[in-house]
Structure 1
Amino acid sequence: MIRDQILHVSNLCAGYGKTVVLHDVSISLVRDSLTLIVGPNGSGKSTLAKAIFNLANVFAGEIIFKNINVTKMTAEEKTALGMQMIPQVSNVFENLTVKENLEISFFNTRKTDKNKKSFEDMLEYVFQIFPNLRNRENDKVKLLSGGERQMVALARALITKPELIIFDEPTAMLSPALSNFILNKIKEINHSGVAVMLIEQNVKAAIGIADYLYVLLSGKKVLEGPSEKFIKDFKILEDAFFGKVREV
């Protein structure tokens, strides 16, 4: 594993049941970086995230996190090591309050400092990043707006002090303004020292906050490179989505 890499996925084949969705995919994430995974619907983006977190079947390949082979570890074991994933759906407990959602994440994940003071300290840290939630902490999540619910989902991951967060289409079904707000918050989280793997359909909005980018097509990695190169020539990405891959 190259120095400063926090995650390395090597020759991954994964899917559901006996169906292979991902074919020989390899990606690497550097510490403190924001890596964007893009591709058309059905390209295998969400399957990649689920396979990393052991929520899809891994048929071949390895997943190395912090120099540890975590391929066969459960999602709970990976979380305990400092990895978090925010799925596109079912990412909050709607009948619980904001604070109760955060308590569950904090006390179910952290292996040390499981006391009220450490929770209150982390709660304050989370509220500094998401001040909108401070006045909603005793409200049930089902009463919140879509944007506020997504803030709770991000806060639930952040309160565990992760080293890597995988976001699966966090702006889905949000307005353009809320999408930009959430993406900026994700970049803020990244700037705090958390590595980010971001799966996002809104490529034009997300590419501006990314350091590196991978393109998946039909379950295969077809293109990769620093995001700034794709910003300069966005047509490379547009062509890749239709199978016309050019060298970066």
Structure 2
Amino acid sequence: MLKIENLCVAYGYVEALKGITLNVEEGKIVTLIGANGAGKSTTLKAIVGLAKAKSGSITYQGKNLLQEETKNMVRNGITLVPEGRRVFSNLSVLENLKIGAFYRKDTKKIEEDLEWIYELFPKLKERTWQQAGTLSGGEQQMLAVGRALMSRPKLLMMDEPSLGLAPLIVKEIFNIIKEIHKQGVTILLIEQNANAALKIADEAYVLETGTITIKGTGSELLKDDEIKKAYLGESHG
């Protein structure tokens, strides 16, 4: 579905990505883990055109996204849940959700999808008319995910969905990610919580200072001694 090959991105003289290659197959959960500054968010920004590639290719369903003159990720079926939640704080929960469906025309299906979102996130239904800026951090994250889902994406990209959330809310968010995946959505997950991310991932990549150093299945990386030591807070053995 999505192929990144030899992708290089630089900010001035600083190389953020140094020729990374990764593959996201349709129907899979793929996670990219790594420390702060490793280049994880830059990877997502390059996919959606917010960071300019120096070289390499990004191919989505046969189209080279770097060669498209007009990028419309949502119409192509790609949606990004950005880091930091970034809801429209002065608008209601419902208004935020409807913004996610801005380009869709079928009112009946939009209403059906609203009910689906409310089933996924019952807390949002309780707060339909509440201003998004007054929600808790966890509720804002749920709203950001719900808004992204209202575009009916084929590929959902998530940037640090657990950032700054309490452990119980993190668990809830990851359960929701699994449920979204069951609905047939392919997911590319950027996450510092390596343990939670690897547990749900079909495929996983480790990014260190702009270079992919390890790849494998989520379960393989969970058992890897170097991963345990560097990202899971465990010692060898």
Same-fold status (TM-score > 0.5): yes
**CA shift for structure 1 position 91:** 2.6
| Contact persistence 2:65–2:71 (CA under 8 A) | no
What residue is the counterpart of 1:203 in the other structure? 194
Aligned amino acid, residue 236 of structure 1: E
What residue is the counterpart of 1:236 in the other structure? 226
Aligned residues: 231
SS at match of 1:142: helix
Q: 1:27 to 1:240 in 2, by over 3 A?
A: farther
User: Structure 2 unaligned runs (5+)?
Assistant: 232-237
For residues 193-247 of structure 1, what are the alpha-carbon distances to aligned partners after superposition, in whole Å with 9 as ceiling and x for unaligned? 111011111111221111111001110011100111122x242314566xxxxxx
SS at match of 2:212: strand
Match of 2:35 among 37, 40, 57: 40
Q: TM-score when scaled to structure 1?
A: 0.88
Structure 1: 4+ residue segments shifted above 4 A: none
Are 1:152 and 2:143 an aligned pair?
yes
Aligned amino acid, residue 23 of structure 1: K
Matches within 5 A, 1:8-19: 8-17=3-12, 19=14
Aligned residues: CA RMSD: 1.7
Matches within 5 A, 1:20-99: 20-73=15-68, 77-89=72-84, 91-99=86-94
**CA shift for structure 1 position 59:** 0.6
In 1, Cα distance between the equivalents of 2:138 and 2:70?
Answer: 26
| Contact persistence 1:43–1:217 (CA under 8 A) | yes
Q: Percent identity?
A: 37
What residue is the counterpart of 1:226 in the other structure? 217
Aligned amino acid, residue 227 of structure 2: L
Q: 1:223 to 1:85 in 2, by over 3 A?
A: same
User: Structure 1 unaligned runs (5+)?
Assistant: 1-5, 242-248
Aligned amino acid, residue 68 of structure 1: K
| Contact persistence 2:85–2:141 (CA under 8 A) | no
Q: TM-score when scaled to structure 2?
A: 0.92
**CA shift for structure 1 position 121:** 1.4
